[in-house]
Amino acid sequence: MNSYKITGFDHCEMYVSNAKQAAHYYRTTFGFQPIAYRGLETDSRDKVSYVLKQNKIRYVITSPLDGSSLIGEHIKKHGDGIKDVSFTVNNAESAWKETTSRGALNIQEPTLVEDENGEAVVATIQTFGDTTHTFVERNNYHGAFLPGYEMYDPKELVAEPTGLVHIDHIVGNQPDGEMQTVCQFYEKVFGWHRFWTVDDKDINTDYSSLRSIVMANDNEIIKMPINEPADGLKKSQIQEFIDFYKNAGVQHIAMSTKDIIRTVRKLKSNGVEFLPTPETYYDSLSQRIGNIYEDINTLKELGILVDKDENGYMLQIFTKPVQDRPTLFYEIIQRKGSQSFGKGNFKALFESIEREQKLRGNL
C-alpha cells in the first residue's frame, strides 16, 4: 500500500523549440485554451511556458530562452517532445519519499511554491529515458495553474473546445529489450500492476511488430502502456521512434471524448492530420464487432477504428506525428464499456503506419 494517493494525470510538459507557435497549434487545432503563462514578463529569465487546458487535460508548453540550457539540450537531442508526465497526488512529499526510497532517481526534492492564490508542493523523479514524473499536490492552490505562472487570458485567443475530456493513457516507447525493466521499475517504485499485455504473436504485419505491457496504478486511474520493438522483416514503428527520439520517450497520449464523431470532424476541419484507415477495414466490421450505435459509413468516412471486448466496445483514431520527427502523436478514444487497448485494430493500424514509414524512407 502506498502512503499517498494518485488522483489523476495532472499535466504533461513538453519541451519545444518555439512554445509560442506550438501553443497556437494546440489552441487552434485541438481547441486548448491558454490559461497561464510564465516568461520574461513574469520574471522568468531562462524559459517560457504556456499552460493550455481543455476539461481535465492540461499541457505545459515550454521553450528555453537560452539554447545552451538543459531544455535546449533536450530539444537538440530529442526534438519537440514530452519531458514530464505529472500526477496529481494528495501528498507530494510522501510520493517523493516513497518512490525515491524504493530506487527512483531524484530530480527535484519536495518544494513548497506559493503566491497570492495559495500554495502547492511539487517534487520530481526520473523515469524512462530523459522523461520525468512530477508529483503535484494542489489541494491548497486556487490560481489558474501553479505558483510561478500568471493567469493568461487574452480575449483574442479564445479556443473552441473540440470535446476532449481527459487523458485515458500515456504510452512510453523503450529500446529493444528494455520493456520488462521499465515495467519492473513501475512495480517496484510505484507498486503498480500489469493491467494488460500484448506480445509479438498478437501484433505483427508482414513487416514489424511490438510488445506492450500496460501498467496501471492501484485505482487504475493512471494507465501507461510500455512498448518495445519486436523483430520483424522490416523496421518496427517503435524502432523508428527510438531512432529519431534518440532514446526512450513518450510515444502517444490518448485523450478521451464523449462523442468521437463530433470531435474528429472538428479536429479534421481544424487541420489535425489523422492516419488513414484502409477502406477494406470496414467491409467485415459489423461481423467482427456486432451492432454498435454509430453509423459504420460515418466511421468509414472519418477513418475511426472500433474494437470490442467482453465489457463493450471502444472507438479510436490516431493522428500523424505532430512534429517533423516521426515521434509524438495523439490518440482520440471513446470508450463504451471496453477497457481494451484495441488489439483487434493493431493490424489495420500497423499497415497504415507502415505506409507512412515507407514514405519517410524508414521501413
The residues, ordered by sequence, that sit 6+ positions from 51 with a Cβ below 8 Å of its Cβ are: 11, 34, 35, 36, 37, 58, 59, 60, 61, 144, 145, 149, 152
CB 83 within 8 A of CB 132: yes
Q: Which lies closer to Fe ion via its Cβ, residue 62 or residue 263?
A: 263
Binding mask 163-202 for Fe ion (x = CB under 5 A): ----------------------------------------
Q: How many residues bind Fe ion (CB under 5 A)?
A: 2
Q: Which lies closer to Fe ion via its Cβ, residue 62 or residue 127?
A: 127
Within 330-359, the residues that bind Fe ion by CB under 5 A are 331
Strands 57-64 and 47-54 turn out to be antiparallel
CB of 127 to Fe ion, least distance (A): 18
- The answer to whether residue 14 forms part of the interface with Fe ion (CB under 5 A) is no
State how far the Cα of 86 lies from the Cα of 72, in Å rounded to an integer: 21
250, three cell numbers: 513518450
Helices 346-359 and 237-245 cross at an angle (nearest 10°) of: 50
CB of 49 to Fe ion, least distance (A): 26
CB of 232 to Fe ion, least distance (A): 20
Cβ neighbours of 336 (radius 10 Å) = 15
Binding mask 305-334 for Fe ion (x = CB under 5 A): --------------------------x---
Q: Which lies closer to Fe ion via its Cβ, residue 13 or residue 331?
A: 331
Q: Which lies closer to Fe ion via its Cβ, residue 89 or residue 214?
A: 214
Within 228-267, the residues that bind Fe ion by CB under 5 A are 254
CB of 342 to Fe ion, least distance (A): 7
CB 82 within 8 A of CB 128: no
The residues, ordered by sequence, that sit 6+ positions from 107 with a Cβ below 8 Å of its Cβ are: 124, 125, 126, 132
CB of 135 to Fe ion, least distance (A): 24
Binding site for Fe ion (CB under 5 A): 254, 331
